Amino acid sequence: MLNFYRLPQDYLKFSGSDRLDLINRLSTNQVIPLDKFSCVKTVLTSDKGRIIDLLSLYNLGDIVFAACSFNNAKAVLEHLDKYTIMDDFTPADLSGTHNTIQFFGDKAVEFFSGVTGCNVSGLNESEFLVTNTHEAIISLSDNRIGGIEFLYSINDKEYWENLIFSDENISEYGLMEVSGSDYDIKRIELGIPAFGKEMSELINPLECGLNKYVSFTKGCYIGQEVIARLDAYDKISKHMVGIKINSANLPDIDEQLKLTTEGKECGFVTSITNSEKYGFIALGFVKTIFLDYSKEYKIKYKEGMLDCSIKKLPFTT
């Protein structure tokens, strides 16, 4: 079976001779050099080292195509404009012009090699392919869910949808769409942070496990001093954790859930779901001084308390 998920994202285009240099000076990862048909993820951070967004950059040669979190393109562009002074840099909002579909399953590489005629098997996470017909981008999904990301223009939607989701392919590969709620369950099980939940302007990249997108050798960028100091002196104030809720039923909760231990507030919950594997689980943050995987914790909400324990991520049986 080959599962797929229609990943909601916003899209941007960066042009101008300083396009890579500016992003390199404003974000956490090493963006220069970024060869043509190479891709990288990097975190835009505020001057306090907090997350503006996680960007996926695709270097097409004369432009950089970028994907950011859904409904966040405006905030990204405002942040970039704040720090663009004399740079030859022109950003454009392409939100609504493209679609991204993630495919995951053992036959994802075989499927896309056959459908597009591209040798997908040779890809690594720092490369992408552009199809020859009805141009689209194929890349490996750079997260722990894995799989292949297929990004295409909505102008070519009919062509690609008819080609990919043909009756023959549905029959041979058992193509099955994953719902947003099922995708969220998998994301939480694996401990993958989501924008607006674990990733926000209250959180820095090290607190929610985005270390792989942070270079500690590239030099200055906006927020670099804060992030470098937290790393060098082991001063990260809170950590993202898994939370196993010891309850057979979960109340209908629309409020901000607080974590407590020994009667003291020590953190908060950001995502919560009902997993077939693990029962009621969540992601959240615990202040470092209270972080102890052997302790008992509680989730506090307006109607009472729920017993829980914290887990290292990803969740395991």
Q: Is the peptide bond before 205 cis (omega within 30 degrees of 0)?
A: no
Residue 250 lies in a domain: no
Query: Is 117 buried (19+), middle (13-18) or exposed (0-12) by CB count in 10 A?
Result: exposed
Please say whether the beta carbons of 260 and 297 come within 8 A. Answer: yes
Helix, strand, or coil here: 213?
helix
Q: How many CB atoms lie within 10 A of CB 248?
A: 7
Helices and strands (DSSP H and E) totals, the chain: 7, 17
Residue 101 lies in a domain: yes
Q: Note the pLDDT of residue 98.
A: 98
Nearest to 76 by CA among 100, 44, 47, 48: 44
Q: Note the pLDDT of residue 220.
A: 94
Q: Note the pLDDT of residue 234.
A: 86
Q: Note the pLDDT of residue 255.
A: 74
Q: Note the pLDDT of residue 229.
A: 93
As a whole number of angstroms, the distance between CA 216 and CA 315 comes to: 28
Please give the model's pTM, rounded to 2 decimal places. Answer: 0.95
Residue 50 lies in a domain: yes
Please say whether the beta carbons of 85 and 37 come within 8 A. Answer: no
Outline where DSSP puts E strands in 204-253.
Answer: 238-245
Total number of residues shown for the chain: 317
Q: Provide the CATH number for the domain around residue 36.
A: 3.30.1360.120
Helix (H) or strand (E) holding 250: none
Residue 186 lies in a domain: no
Q: What is the DSSP string of 76-144?
A: HHHHHHHH-SS---EEEE-TTSEEEEEEESTTHHHHHHHHH---GGG--TTBEEE-SSS-EEEEE--ST
Q: Which parts of the chain have pLDDT scores under 70?
A: 251-254
Q: Note the pLDDT of residue 264.
A: 97
Q: Note the pLDDT of residue 72.
A: 98
Write out pLDDT tens, residues 69-126. Answer: 999 999 999 999 999 999 999 999 999 999 999 999 989 999 999 999 898 988 999 9
Token code pair at residue 50: 């907090």
Residue 150 lies in a domain: yes
Residue 282 lies in a domain: no
Domain housing 25: 3-177
As a whole number of angstroms, the distance between CA 311 and CA 316 comes to: 9
Residue 310 lies in a domain: no
Residue 223 lies in a domain: no
Number of domains in the chain: 1
As a whole number of angstroms, the distance between CA 50 and CA 128 comes to: 29
Q: What is the DSSP string of 150-202?
A: EEEEGGGHHHHHHHHT-HHHHHHH--EEPPHHHHHHHHHHHT---BTTTBSTT
Q: Note the pLDDT of residue 251.
A: 67
